[in-house]
Amino acid sequence: MEGLYLLDYGAGNVQSLANSLTKLGYSFKWIQSPEDFKHAKKLIFPGVGAFKTAISGLETRGLFSPLREYILSGRPYFGICIGLQVLFSSSAEAPGVKGLGIIPSSIDHFDASSKAVPHMGWNTTRFAQNVTDETKFGMDEETAYYFVHSYRGKYDSNAESAKWAHTVAQYGEELFMATVRRGHLFGAQFHPEKSGNAGLKVLDEWLKTPIEKLDVEELERSVIPLIPQPKDGFIRRVVACLDVRANDEGDLVVTKGDQYDVREKAEAGGSSLATQTAGAVRNLGKPVALAERYYIAGADEICFLNITSFRSSPLQDQPMLAVVRAAAEKIFVPLTIGGGIKDTTDPDGTKRSAVEVAGTYFRAGADKVSIGSEAVIAVEKLLASEGIPSGTSAIETIAHVYGRQAVVVSADPRRAYVDPEIYDGPQKDEVVRGKDGRTWWYQCTISGGRESRPLGVVQLAKGVEKLGAGEILLNSIDRDGTGAGFDLDLIRLVKNAVSIPVVASSGAGSPAHFVEVFRETTAEAALAAGIFHRGEVQISDVKQAIADDGINSRQGT
Binder of ligand 1PR out of 187, 372, 470, 501 (CB under 6 A)? 372
- Choosing from 93, 174, 193, 396, which is the catalytic residue? 193
Helices (H), 25-181: 51-60, 64-72, 82-85
For position 508 contacting ligand 1PR by CB under 6 A, the verdict is yes
For position 448 contacting ligand 1PR by CB under 6 A, the verdict is yes
Nearest to 457 by CA among 419, 420, 504: 504
For position 305 contacting ligand 1PR by CB under 6 A, the verdict is yes
The reply to whether 303 sits in an annotated binding site is: no
What backbone phi and psi angles, to 5 degrees, belong to 503?
Answer: -100, 115
Q: How far apart, in whole angstroms, are the C-alpha atoms of residue 12 and residue 359?
A: 8
Binder of ligand 1PR out of 105, 506, 521, 553 (CB under 6 A)? 506
Q: How far is the CB of 50 from ligand 1PR (least distance, A)?
A: 23
Which residue is at the shortest CB distance from ligand 1PR?
Answer: 448
Residues in binding contact with ligand 1PR, number by CB under 6 A: 33
- Choosing from 232, 243, 430, 480, which is the catalytic residue? 243
Nearest to 473 by CA among 514, 528, 401, 544: 528
Residue 389 CA: distances (Å) to CA of 49, 105, 297, 341, 397: 21, 33, 42, 19, 11
Nearest to 84 by CA among 173, 22, 151: 151
Nearer to ligand 1PR, 7 or 378 (CB): 378
Nearer to ligand 1PR, 330 or 453 (CB): 453
CB 123 within 8 A of CB 234: yes
Q: How far apart, in whole angstroms, are the C-alpha atoms of residue 438 and residue 416?
A: 11
Identify the burial level of 315 via C-beta atoms within 10 angstroms of its C-beta, where 0-12 means exposed, 13-18 middle and 19 or more buried.
middle
Nearer to ligand 1PR, 108 or 300 (CB): 300
For position 480 contacting ligand 1PR by CB under 6 A, the verdict is yes
- Choosing from 412, 430, 471, 480, which is the catalytic residue? 412
The reply to whether 391 sits in an annotated binding site is: no
What backbone phi and psi angles, to 5 degrees, belong to 237?
Answer: -75, 145
Q: Is the bond preceding 118 in cis, omega lying within 30 degrees of 0?
A: yes
Nearer to ligand 1PR, 179 or 475 (CB): 475
Contact range with ligand 1PR by CB under 6 A, out of 124-132, 281-289, 416-424, 528-536: 528-536
CB 83 within 8 A of CB 46: yes
Residue 378 CA: distances (Å) to CA of 396, 468, 493: 10, 12, 21
134: amino acid identity, one letter: E
Residue 168, H or E segment: strand 165-171
Q: Within 13 Å and on the Cβ side, how many CA atoms surround 322?
A: 8
What is the DSSP code (8-state) at residue 278? Answer: T
Q: How far is the CB of 10 from ligand 1PR (least distance, A)?
A: 26
Contact range with ligand 1PR by CB under 6 A, out of 49-57, 162-170, 215-223, 367-375: 367-375
Residue 438 CA: distances (Å) to CA of 173, 431, 479: 39, 10, 16
Q: How far is the CB of 508 from ligand 1PR (least distance, A)?
A: 5
Identify the burial level of 351 via C-beta atoms within 10 angstroms of its C-beta, where 0-12 means exposed, 13-18 middle and 19 or more buried.
exposed
For position 475 contacting ligand 1PR by CB under 6 A, the verdict is yes
Contact range with ligand 1PR by CB under 6 A, out of 23-31, 199-207, 218-226, 333-341: 333-341
Contact range with ligand 1PR by CB under 6 A, out of 80-88, 160-168, 502-510, 512-520: 502-510
- Choosing from 149, 191, 513, 533, which is the catalytic residue? 191
Binder of ligand 1PR out of 46, 83, 340, 468 (CB under 6 A)? 340
What backbone phi and psi angles, to 5 degrees, belong to 289?
Answer: -60, -40
Q: Is 39 an active-site residue? A: no
Q: Is 367 an active-site residue? A: no
Contact range with ligand 1PR by CB under 6 A, out of 45-53, 103-111, 119-127, 301-309: 301-309
- Beta bridge mates, 127: 167
The reply to whether 496 sits in an annotated binding site is: no
Q: Is 412 an active-site residue? A: yes
| Torsion sign, CA atoms 352, 193, 508, 498 | positive
- Choosing from 81, 241, 303, 444, which is the catalytic residue? 81
For position 298 contacting ligand 1PR by CB under 6 A, the verdict is no
Nearer to ligand 1PR, 178 or 299 (CB): 299
Binder of ligand 1PR out of 237, 256, 352, 513 (CB under 6 A)? 256
Q: Is 191 an active-site residue? A: yes
Q: Is 243 an active-site residue? A: yes
Residues 392-431 that bind ligand 1PR (CB under 6 A): 410, 412
Residues carrying an active site annotation: 81, 191, 193, 243, 412
Q: What residues make contact with ligand 1PR under the rule CB under 6 A?
A: 241, 243, 256-257, 260, 262, 305, 307, 309-310, 338-341, 370-374, 410, 412, 448, 475, 480-481, 505-508, 527-530
**Which positions make up the binding site?**
81, 340, 475
**Which positions make up the binding site for L-glutamine?**
81
**Which positions make up the binding site for substrate?**
340, 475
